[in-house]
Amino acid sequence: MMARPCCVVVVLLLLAEVSSLGEGVPNPGFVARITRKGLEYARQYGMATLKKELSNVNLPDLSGSFKAGWMGSVRYECRSLRIRSFQLRNSDLHLRPSQGVTASLSNNYMSVSGNWKVEKGFITLEGTFVLSVDGISISISLTLGKDQSGRPTASVAHCSNAIGHVSIDISGQLSWLLNLFRATIESKLKNILTQKICEMVRSSTTSHLEPYLRTLPVTLAIDQIAGIDYSLVGAPRVTSRALDTPFKGKFFGLRQRFRVPFRSPSVKLPWEHDRMAYIAVSQYVFNTASQVYRQAGLMNFTIRNEHLARLYPNMEVGLELSPESAPFLTFTPGNVTLMPVMNIEAFALLPNASDRSPLFQLRARTNISATISVSSGKIFGSLSPGSKLELELKHSHIGFFNVGLMESIFNYYAPYVVYPSINAKLKEGFPLPLPRDTYLNSLQLQILQNFVLIKADID
């Protein structure tokens, strides 16, 4: 089965679950919404897949006998049965809020070819036939849930099908005999096909869709330090207009896990529907990342003499910067800001090198503005100064201290030391939870209250 149509069938299946986020379930860090437009695209690929699968159904050889008047019982055989074409004419997808999804296919047509043989005593007739099957209708109801590990699961809750009219085209001598044969074989094949269609739908779900769903990542390693947890916090939710899938979206340390001291805020997606997919990434995702990377020391900086020579020309001086707490990103419409508070400790390196003597301690505050961007399935960030740095003296071991001079030096150097280092990290980005071979295109991005909204079409 081709990967892309398959992935879209998954989207169909994602529709199915009967649920909403219950009480006590944390807000998702990440919500993927597929709109009706996205589902329409999914339906087209889903139907192409189904058609392909149905065309590959193996039909068994048939043999048996039928009664032919004075001739008595006549043996027949049908071999090399093959589905030559399958036309899916009308298909429709019903979103049934809080219930699931039903795919209905009606007025479909199929043709089957094969070889036939009829034997009675010394009489043997044989040839080929083409069976036309009209008015095939199929109804498939799907359910999707989540398992213990937070992976989505899919199953066919119900499948039924009916076949309208069957007619077989055979010709030859002894037409009265062939007419009796025709009636027998038409009803046999009708029964076989009725049974095979739903069997195929179910086995295709088991052998293609379930493994495909398992390609949705549950956790992803980002680098040596962090991973992201993309398990589902609830089953996908069906409304009359869309399907929302809630993911946890939480960064964790690969070496140590720790409690996150804040909760994920609620995320309200606007009711837009002109794009196929809307993805909300909560500020929670970014703030759990901030926690993990601070913990790992990525926000600790040491600044050495080359930048401080102006201030202390005759002394080896170093500065250590570390955030007082993990910088918290706040998303408001149009803006992402953070107001980190950094502790700065200055020390002099003594000639016997292994020793250092403290000079002073400062607290620095600044406002930073963040830019979020998205491309090829990844989210990136970059920081730029939003205000000047304000310094406050906490403690000095060296008596008089010119805070103003220090401020201007910091404001001058911060863009050369701190920002490039953090931005290099943010430039690596982190991946969105997409199943295999799913691509987003024509991406747009909007900062809203508590989250960034990514608008995309699916490819």
Ligand X SMILES: *[C@@H]1O[C@H](CO)[C@@H](O)[C@H](O)[C@H]1NC(C)=O
- Residue ranges binding ligand X (CB under 6 A): 297, 300, 320, 322, 332-335, 339, 350, 352, 355, 365-367, 387, 390
| 412 vs 439, beta carbon nearer ligand X | 412
SS3 88: coil
Is the Cβ of residue 300 or residue 375 nearer to ligand X in the bound state? 300
Alpha carbons 55 and 87: distance in angstroms, whole number: 10
Which among 19, 85, 80, 12 is positioned nearest to 42, based on CA atoms?
A: 12
Q: CB-wise, 102 or 283, nearer to ligand X?
A: 283
d(CA 435, CA 433): 7
> Least distance in Å: CB of 266 to ligand X?
20
**86, amino acid identity:** F
- Residue 413 C-beta: closest distance to ligand X, Å: 17
Q: Please, which residue, 186 or 390, has the CB nearer to ligand X?
A: 390
**Smaller CB separation from ligand X, 313 or 334:** 334
Smallest distance from ligand X to CB 449, Å: 10
Q: To the nearest whole angstrom, how small is the minimum distance from the Cβ of residue 3 to ligand X?
A: 41
Helix/strand/coil for 59: coil
CA distance 307 to 319: 10
**Beta-strand relationship, 165-169 and 123-146:** antiparallel
Cα torsion angle, 58, 64, 68, 74, sign: positive
**Considering beta carbons, is residue 34 or 368 the nearer one to ligand X?**
368
In whole angstroms, the minimum distance from the beta carbon of 337 to ligand X comes to: 7
- The total number of residues shown for the chain amounts to 459
Identify which of residues 106 and 408 has a Cβ nearer to ligand X in the complex.
408
The closest alpha carbon to 239, from 47, 42, 19, belongs to: 19
Nearest distance from residue 107's CB to ligand X, in Å? Answer: 52
| Two structure tokens written together for 356 | 């250092």
Smallest separation, CB 158 to ligand X (Å): 49
Which residue from 432, 289, 459 is spatially nearest to 374, judged by alpha carbons? 432
Q: What is the closest distance, in whole angstroms, from the C-beta atom of residue 270 to ligand X in the complex?
A: 16
* Helix or strand holding residue 229 (H, E): strand 226-229
- Decide: 76 and 117 in contact? Cβ < 8 Å: yes
- For ligand X, which is the closer residue by CB, 36 or 365? 365
> The tokens 């699961």 sit on which residue?
153
Q: Which is nearer to ligand X, 41 or 293 (CB)?
A: 293
184 residue type, one letter: T
**Which one, of 382, 389, 346, lies nearest residue 364 by Cα?**
389
184 Cβ contact list (under 8 Å, min separation 6): 64, 66, 76
CB nearer to ligand X: pick between 147 and 355? 355
Provide the 3-class DSSP secondary structure of residue 74: strand
Give the shortest CB-425-to-ligand X separation in angstroms: 15
Read off the tokens for 294: 């601070």
For residue 294, the minimal CB distance to ligand X (Å) is 8
Least distance to ligand X, CB of residue 297, Å: 3
Write the CB contacts of 458 (distance below 8 Å, at least 6 apart in sequence): 8, 11, 34, 38, 41, 42, 276, 277, 438, 439, 440, 441
Q: Whose Cβ is closer to ligand X: residue 47's or residue 326's?
A: 326
The DSSP code sequence of 134-151 is: EEEEEEEEEEEEE-TTS-
